[in-house]
């Protein structure tokens, strides 16, 4: 988005700013392209959870198997009509680091969290159209299984399971203080970026990426900490978010909690792949970099952190690391 021309920005604004345009293109695409293809009982993978927990790295890792279809930057801005996007193919760009400045590189063939444009509709629409939507994406990518990274899909795990009963959910968990520090830094980073370029703010709003920046939306109502520029706010959000995940989904056999700090451990990766019955010899098991702990100078409330650590330890015990 940072290198879009004025024409590209106009096209994104025009298509993404109005649901009626997206839905009209979706209906037209169904008429032209939709085929009756059995996707309901396949093991589609949905990666969800708080941002900065390794969701993008997991997405790229599984996508590298070449077995799954994901929306890519080539599908922008025609997210609800992925097969129309081939008529507006972008020139291949060299891989470059994404705006987060976290060492993750991308080009226009890279997968990305884009399907919130579909899910940001009422439940009736999702129930009626999710299978058709996935069929269109699979047709566009010539695959049989769908791979989604959407940090907001934790809210609709039950809904997705009711439509796609064999779906698998991967929910990464990161050490809370390191995680809160990363969330805070990205928030401050995107505030600056969005002040410098208003299109970045609009673009993120279109995609439902309100995790950071000027239009940040909290996951839960703050209780004791409401200063979003302080680490205790993000720690408290971590506590409420993951306590809710633990309470709701620890008994779900298709919800797999992933320890962020263990991703560079090849034996741990093998264990995850076995758990989700994933067999692919193309995967590079050393895909993930070692997790480097940051030295955190920010002041934080110890009671707040201890509560977060207690929840984190419960996850570790549950996962069996």
Backbone angles phi, psi at 62, to 5 degrees: -70, -40
pTM: 0.93
Q: What pLDDT does residue 91 have? A: 64
CB neighbours of 126 closer than 8 A, spacing ≥ 6?
Answer: 118, 119, 156, 159, 163
pLDDT at 190: 95
| Rg from Cα positions in the chain | 19
The confidence score (pLDDT) of residue 10 equals 84
Q: What is the structure's pLDDT at 321?
A: 63
Which CATH number, 2.40.128, 3.40.50, 2.30.30, 3.20.20, labels domain 26-319?
Answer: 3.40.50
154-164 per-residue burial string, b: 16 or more CB within 10 A, e: under 16: bebbeebbebb
What's residue 107's pLDDT?
79
The reported pLDDT for the residue numbered 123 is 96
Confidence (pLDDT) at 70: 97
pLDDT value of residue 90:
61
pLDDT (0 to 100) of residue 307:
97
What is the per-residue pLDDT for 44?
97
* Pair 1, 203: CB distance under 8 Å: yes
The parts of the chain modelled with pLDDT lower than 50 are none
């Amino acid at each position: 988005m940072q290198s879009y021309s004025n024409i590209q920005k106009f096209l994104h604004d025009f298509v993404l700013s109005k649901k009626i345009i997206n839905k009209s293109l979706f209906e037209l695409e169904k008429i032209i392209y939709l085929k009756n293809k059995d996707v309901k009982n396949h093991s589609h993978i949905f990666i969800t959870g708080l941002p900065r927990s390794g969701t993008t790295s997991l997405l790229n890792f599984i996508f590298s198997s070449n077995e799954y279809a994901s929306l890519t930057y080539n599908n922008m801005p025609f997210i609800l009509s992925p097969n129309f996007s081939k008529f507006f193919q972008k020139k291949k760009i060299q891989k470059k680091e994404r705006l987060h400045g976290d060492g993750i590189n991308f080009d226009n063939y890279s997968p990305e969290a884009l399907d919130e444009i579909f899910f940001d509709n009422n439940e009736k629409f999702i129930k009626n159209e999710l299978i058709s939507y996935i069929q269109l994406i699979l047709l566009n990518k010539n695959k049989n299984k769908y791979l989604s990274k959407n940090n907001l899909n934790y809210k609709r795990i039950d809904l997705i399971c009711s439509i796609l009963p064999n779906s698998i959910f991967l929910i990464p968990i990161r050490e809370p203080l390191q995680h809160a520090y990363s969330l805070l830094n990205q928030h401050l980073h995107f505030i600056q970026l969005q002040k410098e370029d208003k299109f970045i703010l609009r673009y993120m709003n279109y995609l439902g990426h309100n995790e950071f920046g000027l239009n940040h939306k909290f996951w839960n109502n703050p209780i004791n900490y409401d200063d979003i520029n302080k680490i205790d706010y993000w720690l408290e959000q971590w506590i409420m978010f993951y306590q809710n995940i633990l309470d709701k989904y620890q008994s779900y056999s298709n919800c797999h909690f992933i320890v962020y700090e263990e991703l560079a451990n090849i034996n741990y990766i093998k264990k995850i792949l076995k758990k989700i019955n994933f067999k692919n010899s193309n995967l590079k098991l050393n895909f993930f970099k070692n997790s480097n702990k940051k030295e955190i100078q920010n002041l934080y409330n110890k009671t707040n952190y201890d509560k977060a650590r207690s929840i984190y330890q419960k996850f570790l015990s549950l996962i069996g690391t």
